[in-house]
Amino acid sequence: DTAVSQTPKYLVTQMGNDKSIKCEQNLGHDTMYWYKQDSKKFLKIMFSYNNKELIINETVPNRFSPKSPDKAHLNLHINSLELGDSAVYFCASSQDPVIYGYTFGSGTRLTVV
C-alpha cells in the first residue's frame, strides 16, 4: 500500500542506452512531478503533470520525455543516456502542496557507466 512507488529502485546502464523509470501513486492526487537529485544532493524540478497534462517543463534535455497515461502514473523515459544523467530521480505527487506538501517516492538511483 505504498503511496508513491517508483520502479526500479536502482538502475545501472551503459552510455547510449534508453531507459524508463515508472511512477505510480495511489493517493488520488491530481499532480505529479519528477525531480532530479545530483551527487551534491541538489534537488531540481524537471517536470510536472496535472491530470495528465504537462504544466511544468524545466530546462531539461529533450532526451528526457515524461509520459502520463493517466493521473495516477507519470513515467520518465530517457534516450541516449549520458554519464551526467547519473543521479537519483524522485517522483512526487500532491493534491494541494500548500496544505500537504509533496509526497515523494523512494527514488531511483540511476548510474550510467
Partner 1 sequence: AQKVTQAQTEISVVEKEDVTLDCVYETRDTTYYLFWYKQPPSGELVFLIRRNSFDEQNEISGRYSWNFQKSTSSFNFTITASQVVDSAVYFCASTIGGATNKLIFGTGTLLAVQP
Report how far residue 30's alpha carbon sits from residue 61's, in angstroms, rounded to the nearest whole number.
Answer: 25
The minimum distance between CB 16 and partner 1, in angstroms, equals 27
Looking at beta carbons only, is 6 or 75 nearer to partner 1?
Answer: 6
The DSSP 8-state label assigned to residue 99 in this structure reads: H
Looking at beta carbons only, is 17 or 100 nearer to partner 1?
Answer: 100
Which grid coordinates belong to 44? 531540481
Q: Which residues pair with 65 in a beta bridge?
A: 77
**Residue ranges in contact with partner 1 by CB under 8 A:** 31, 40-45, 48, 50, 55-56, 88, 90, 92, 94, 97-107, 109
The minimum distance between CB 67 and partner 1, in angstroms, equals 19
Residue 46 to residues 24, 78, 96, Cα–Cα distance (Å): 17, 12, 19
The minimum distance between CB 106 and partner 1, in angstroms, equals 5
Beta carbons within 10 angstroms of residue 74's beta carbon: 28
Looking at beta carbons only, is 79 or 95 nearer to partner 1?
Answer: 95
The minimum distance between CB 19 and partner 1, in angstroms, equals 19
The answer to whether 47 touches 54, Cβ cutoff 8 Å, is yes
